[in-house]
Structure 1
């Protein structure tokens, strides 16, 4: 459901239409009232209602696990800083205990009948208390410094491991059900690993301070530990309940915030600016975005009232228990069971313990929440590590022949094979065109030919090397691939061509590859030629047209001078001149490699030595273009006739 504020706007017919985002009644403008955005709820997320459903025991049990995971990560990235934090925390706690003990020694002297004499006797203890306080503060500052040095290393280590494993995972991992959701949760865990380091430092400091205060109070009088609990328990319970309220608001708004964040990128990116304006989308999309903002804002405001009620109640109970503590101390003093000095020390210690407990409660709930996502991170890391590409040790060489014997591939979670029972032979010097309707299995077949995936049944061999038993990196070293969706890498023009290859050949080879695809003139006209950053969204960057990006992708593959060159719809955004040049170069380069081209533009298929037509994952027919088109009942002939009628 929409928030109360947004619902009210819907009832009164208000929509955002002006540049100043002024709400104008739809009845006056004649503009139809847009429908409110649908309510989205990610019911599948793993930790839905985790804080709401958790008992205090659940939190107490999970928080040590989160601390251990954080400590492992910190120890792995920088042992010296991790050890510095631990030592500083312990020294800070010792400083607190020494300070409270010194205060307990000094107070009886300060309350003596002769103030001057009492001060003279108390100053050594007071000096110790001051030094202990200063030492504790210095240790906290040093721990904070160490944490600030540790945080960027933790962030980089967690992120790098996640990215590296993604890049090394088998492509089948991406097709596994829920992989994207688990990846997103792991990414959140990686981001929150930094927060956990800070939270863990503050939490452990609170624990150390609380233990120090409790130890001092117990040594002064056994009853003081109970008095301490009376003073801090209400605030602790209030903190837990308030944290539940905070998390409930977070849980109820996570869908709206996530969708709003995704939409914000689309509304502000240059890539969609033309479509947004020319198709008059701005009015509705502004209304939609504002409605989502209202939805989040309304629910956060709804949570403010119970939060205030809980904190006021906890503060009131804490005040009552604090009065009870003071009354208990007064009773002990009047009964002669405790000196006034010890009672004063108890008040100071209870205040220290109260602040420590507030930190413990606050950061325990935060760590509980963050720890859920850190667990996701480690679980996902283990999952992807088990799915990284590790097939065999055979060293693949540039093939003279690629043979498929009964090759099949079934995607994870699917019952029907995308490609099945394909037997083919491709030879060096041959240009092969793959043709078929959408979903015929062309992309899957390309993946098997290039070793990006290994067949779930049957074999793919480069000469005598079975790709399932070969070191995948040695296979890909001989492959040049131009996929349908190629990367518009935010790098300099030079790196966009040489990407992944050594630079020992110099710029001559770069310009040669650019010449092959007709990009020389465009690159020379860039502000800094090969040094120009190809990213318009970055200051000083430059953007290419869609066809120029495709030419650059082709140049990248040709620069590699691969033994297996595969182009999947390489000219879909090029003009006729560019398309003609690419296919002319393919013919020129053909003798030194195996060339495979996928295209729906059937006039381009004429240049192939052989056409392989796929249908529903199998080879329907193969042969020369002219022979297949002339054959009665040929699928290629049917598709070609349809293309000519357009």
Structure 2
């Protein structure tokens, strides 16, 4: 424990209980994606030389898809810029030669004008080309990001719902999002890398033309600098990886310490000192690792600078030797100085931009892997368009989630007809939510068949099925849209707002709308989005109004009144029969009194249908329904269970 931690520890008079607890798990942020030791292992000169060309090709291929003209213009500007750089260096030789002669004969000064004009022209041209290159990159970057994001979202939304149940799918989606974020940087990094390469090549061509021996000497001087730069960047990146979890933990703890949602509990639970201690521990680990990395990089930089200085001495010695022996002129020697500096700049750019491009490329790999995976689980069903369903049935249906050890549903038979309300009850984990997903076509059964009017749901167009389905899940969406959009879900009916108000009255949402500052036009979102925050009960009224507005043939409601007061709950269930007039309604609830409105009740236990009948039949015969009903009616039963 450091001095800072000790002061905090002593000030609050607490003991570090966490350290005395055996096998205590430590808070850590485990996020898949680009920040990994794998990338650090690949930050070598050989790997970068092998991988970077393919990354640049992939970047320009993606850019080619969104704007071919801009890509052609960008490449043309890069080529012309590289050529003009070489011409400028060649013109330097002639200009210096004339200027040297002018020291003894001023009448030769006008002879330098053409060379100086070329120098000025190439410099101005390169400046203009640099502006054009930057503008083209800025034009392409957001379009590349938009294209990458669209491909990711399109792949995700058109994948089977079961894809989300595959282990790691959501983690890979998170990693792909990071790939989308950095995709806009790819074109800028690629063009900067190409520009640095063009600068280095131009300088090398000029040096080779002045005296071929200078070219291998340039490479000799470049190698130590390149090796030191790559190793230094690797150390820095390893430090980033090593501190990644602690930095994210710091961010998370900072949020919990100051966020409004738990600010009251931070105070009443006197939790701030304990969380601050955790924050300090993570912060000190980050600082220690960063300091070590900075020192290690400094040592490598010193060695690299010494080696580069020695190699540069050889280069300059060669230039002076060539100059002294008359093999090159003083003007050529001056040009060599400019060329060597230009080459050094180009080399530094190759290392720096190459490192950035490598890291961005790995994030883009995450994006590409997810798009490919989601495409492999794309919706691939029939194309029949169902009408408003009159009869929906499960026949001998078994369902198991991907990678699960056992079935969630076992040989289930279930049916619901138009105008009928069927309630589904059971304890937690009995398979109720899974049954709802099968009924609405979100998942396909592992075995058995789900039919709509006798047609297997696998043969129906899934989008057409969902247009005939209205679902109010227990964890319903709170869309950051207006109240109007949150009820209509962007699908207006011919009656317009009249239909929305009618739906709102059926759920009690009209009372909520009356209190909103702009009525149906009020944005329902957290304050920092400029909207109005609703209570859980108010949100549930909005959610229950959605199926009343949506003209769908199947209505599935999973705990639709869990956050409502008795008056609002009564209002919804008294209107449920009207909603079932031309709909097939399936109701999931733990409040068994509400099942009395159903025509039939299906009882699930451990994924099997164990009872079926009316409310009065099931509460008056031995079985799970009667047992659950008696527990809800007899509060003493809860107390006796607690004492046991």
Q: TM-score, normalised by structure 2?
A: 0.93
SS in 1 for 2:601: strand
Who is 1:344 aligned against?
Answer: 334
Residue 407 of structure 1, CA deviation = 1.3
Residue 115 of structure 1, CA deviation = 4.4
Task: Determine the C-alpha separation between the residues in 1 that align with 2:610 and 2:490.
Answer: 37
Who is 2:62 aligned against?
Answer: 73
Residue 555 of structure 1, CA deviation = 0.6
8 Å contact kept, 2:35–2:241: no
Task: Determine the C-alpha separation between the residues in 2 that align with 1:115 and 1:170.
Answer: 84
Task: Determine the C-alpha separation between the residues in 1 that align with 2:377 and 2:252.
Answer: 29
Alignment of 1:81-480 (within 5 A): 81-112=70-101, 114-480=104-470
8 Å contact kept, 1:231–1:350: no
Quickly say closer, same or farther: Cα 1:424–1:293, change in 2 above 3 A. same
8 Å contact kept, 2:87–2:122: yes
Structure 2 portions without partners, runs of 5+: 20-24, 636-644
Quickly say closer, same or farther: Cα 1:285–1:39, change in 2 above 3 A. closer
8 Å contact kept, 1:111–1:118: no
Task: Determine the C-alpha separation between the residues in 2 that align with 1:512 and 1:587.
Answer: 16
Task: Determine the C-alpha separation between the residues in 2 that align with 1:419 and 1:243.
Answer: 53
8 Å contact kept, 1:270–1:537: no
- How much is the aligned-residue C-alpha RMSD, in angstroms? 2.0
| Higher mean C-alpha displacement, 166-175 vs 478-487 | 166-175
8 Å contact kept, 2:27–2:249: no
Who is 2:8 aligned against?
Answer: 14
Task: Determine the C-alpha separation between the residues in 2 that align with 1:473 and 1:385.
Answer: 17
Task: Determine the C-alpha separation between the residues in 1 that align with 2:426 and 2:589.
Answer: 9
Q: Deviations over 1:437-470 (max 9, x none)?
A: 1111100110000001111211111103211111
Task: Determine the C-alpha separation between the residues in 2 that align with 1:294 and 1:155.
Answer: 36
Task: Determine the C-alpha separation between the residues in 1 that align with 2:282 and 2:126.
Answer: 47
Q: Deviations over 1:244-264 (max 9, x none)?
A: 011111110111223333444
Quickly say closer, same or farther: Cα 1:41–1:591, change in 2 above 3 A. closer
Residue 83 of structure 1, CA deviation = 2.1
Residue 274 of structure 1, CA deviation = 4.0
SS in 1 for 2:492: coil
Quickly say closer, same or farther: Cα 1:575–1:14, change in 2 above 3 A. same
Pair 1:487-2:480 in alignment: no
SS in 2 for 1:111: helix
Pair 1:523-2:513 in alignment: yes
Residue 494 of structure 1, CA deviation = 0.9
| Higher mean C-alpha displacement, 574-583 vs 51-60 | 51-60
Among 48, 61, 67, the alignment partner of 2:36 is: 48
Alignment of 1:594-613 (within 5 A): 594-613=584-603
Alignment of 1:503-542 (within 5 A): 504-538=494-528, 540-542=530-532
Task: Determine the C-alpha separation between the residues in 2 that align with 1:91 and 1:250.
Answer: 38
Pair 1:614-2:571 in alignment: no
Q: Deviations over 1:506-550 (max 9, x none)?
A: 111111111111121221111111111111332642111111111
Task: Determine the C-alpha separation between the residues in 1 that align with 2:491 and 2:259.
Answer: 31
Task: Determine the C-alpha separation between the residues in 2 that align with 1:471 and 1:613.
Answer: 30
8 Å contact kept, 1:411–1:418: yes
Aligned residues: 628
Residue 503 of structure 1, CA deviation = 5.2
SS in 1 for 2:528: coil
8 Å contact kept, 1:493–1:533: yes
8 Å contact kept, 1:66–1:374: no
Task: Determine the C-alpha separation between the residues in 2 that align with 1:495 and 1:216.
Answer: 66
Quickly say closer, same or farther: Cα 1:247–1:456, change in 2 above 3 A. same
Quickly say closer, same or farther: Cα 1:109–1:503, change in 2 above 3 A. farther
Q: Deviations over 1:31-68 (max 9, x none)?
A: 44474893637497686312432242222222122212
8 Å contact kept, 2:34–2:359: no
Residue 504 of structure 1, CA deviation = 3.9
Residue 79 of structure 1, CA deviation = 2.0
Who is 2:639 aligned against?
Answer: none
Task: Determine the C-alpha separation between the residues in 2 that align with 1:372 and 1:264.
Answer: 29
Who is 1:22 aligned against?
Answer: none
Who is 1:591 aligned against?
Answer: 581
Task: Determine the C-alpha separation between the residues in 1 that align with 2:221 and 2:115.
Answer: 27
Pair 1:570-2:560 in alignment: yes
SS in 1 for 2:153: helix
Q: Deviations over 1:281-326 (max 9, x none)?
A: 3332233334333332332222111122222322232233222211
Task: Determine the C-alpha separation between the residues in 2 that align with 1:425 and 1:41.
Answer: 45
SS in 2 for 1:458: strand
Who is 1:30 aligned against?
Answer: 13
Residue 7 of structure 1, CA deviation = 3.6
Pair 1:558-2:552 in alignment: no
Quickly say closer, same or farther: Cα 1:269–1:394, change in 2 above 3 A. farther
Task: Determine the C-alpha separation between the residues in 2 that align with 1:281 and 1:561.
Answer: 50
Task: Determine the C-alpha separation between the residues in 1 that align with 2:76 and 2:441.
Answer: 52
Residue 80 of structure 1, CA deviation = 2.3
Structure 1 portions without partners, runs of 5+: 1-5, 16-24
Who is 1:579 aligned against?
Answer: 569
8 Å contact kept, 2:77–2:133: yes
8 Å contact kept, 1:394–1:465: no
| Higher mean C-alpha displacement, 256-265 vs 328-337 | 256-265
Who is 2:615 aligned against?
Answer: 625
Quickly say closer, same or farther: Cα 1:204–1:529, change in 2 above 3 A. same
